[in-house]
Amino acid sequence: MKPFLWVAIAGLALLASCTQQPNCGNSKDAFLQGYYDLIGEATAGKLPMSDEGWKKYDERFRAYVEECYEQYESELSPKERRRFWARSVKYYARRYGTGMVKALEEKGDKTATKVKEEVEKIWTDADEALKEATGKVKPEQLLKPGQAETE
């Protein structure tokens, strides 16, 4: 009976570890669609910033930014990168409200650091990224000097 119990425990542990891995999608398009769905779901929920419901979104967001993005980064066009990081800023704005900038400056937060670094590569500041993400300005109006409109 003990060997069966150990096998059952090992099987459950393996199953639990598999379900905790992020689902990055099996293609670039699936990855992007999954990410956009996450952002849409999280921002449509209108949860208060302190709500415990954010935890499920935060973990998925972290996985997309820290683990999945790297997997598909080389396949993304400049336009897809802009959209990905603009949506990341949109998530932070909805998640942290007026504390968004403070959250992005958080020392030791790998996700915030990654978002901030990538946003700074594309826009002059997070506010411009947020304007683009929310449709308040056209992307070509926010291009840095030397960037093409197709980006």
How sure is the predictor about 75, in pLDDT bands with cuts at 50, 70 and 90? Answer: very high
What is the model's pLDDT at position 88? 95
What is the model's pLDDT at position 138? 61
Query: Averaged over 55-79, what is the pLDDT?
Result: 96
Q: Is the pTM of this model over 0.95?
A: no
What is the model's pLDDT at position 6? 54
Query: Averaged over 1-18, what is the pLDDT?
Result: 53
Residue 17 has pLDDT above 50, yes or no: no
Q: What 3 state SS string does the chain have?
A: CHHHHHHHHHHHHHHHHHHCCCCCCCCHHHHHHHHHHHHHHHHHCCCCCCCCCHHHHHHHHHHHHHHHHHHHHHHCCHHHHHHHHHHHHHHHHHHHHHHHHHHHCCCCCHHHHHHHHHHHHHCCCHHHHHHHHCCCCCHHHHCCCCCCCCC
How sure is the predictor about 28, in pLDDT bands with cuts at 50, 70 and 90? Answer: very high
How sure is the predictor about 107, in pLDDT bands with cuts at 50, 70 and 90? Answer: confident
How sure is the predictor about 104, in pLDDT bands with cuts at 50, 70 and 90? Answer: confident
